[in-house]
């Protein structure tokens, strides 16, 4: 008799990485690094989380002092971003644009 995996059971810890939830998205956030103050509020609030920190030396920042003091930037992983818009709502300096996804 074939067995069916019961619901609400996680057979392999960490297997959510295999579910690329980005295909659910209708709207897409885009970070404009020239406005970004590198506060990482978007990173803290993203429920996935689909925002990670990356070396920011190649990215612009709102000013040179920020770039010198904070060496990382937030980057959106579109494989997992569901387009919920929380990062867009929470960014204190409107550095995130929320646009219709082109499929």
- 61 lies in the binding site for ligand SF4 (CB under 6 A): no
How many chain residues touch ligand SF4 (CB under 6 A)? 26
Structural Rg of the chain based on CA atoms = 17
Nearer to ligand SF4, 5 or 32 (CB): 32
- E-assigned strand segments in the chain: 27-31, 51-55, 72-76, 96-100
- 42 lies in the binding site for ligand SF4 (CB under 6 A): yes
- E-assigned strand segments in 1-95: 27-31, 51-55, 72-76
Chain contacts with ligand SF4 (rule: CB under 6 A): 29, 31, 36-42, 46, 48, 50-51, 74, 76, 81-87, 91, 93, 95-96
């Amino acid at each position: 008799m074939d067995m069916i995996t019961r619901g609400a059971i996680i057979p392999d810890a960490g297997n959510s990485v295999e579910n690329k939830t980005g295909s659910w998205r209708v709207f897409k956030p885009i970070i404009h690094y020239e406005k970004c103050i590198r506060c990482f509020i978007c990173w803290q609030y993203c429920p996935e989380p689909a925002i990670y920190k990356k070396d920011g030396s190649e990215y612009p920042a709102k000013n040179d002092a920020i770039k010198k003091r904070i060496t990382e930037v937030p980057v959106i992983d579109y494989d997992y971003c569901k387009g919920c818009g929380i990062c867009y709502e929470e960014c204190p300096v409107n550095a995130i644009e929320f646009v219709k996804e082109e499929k």
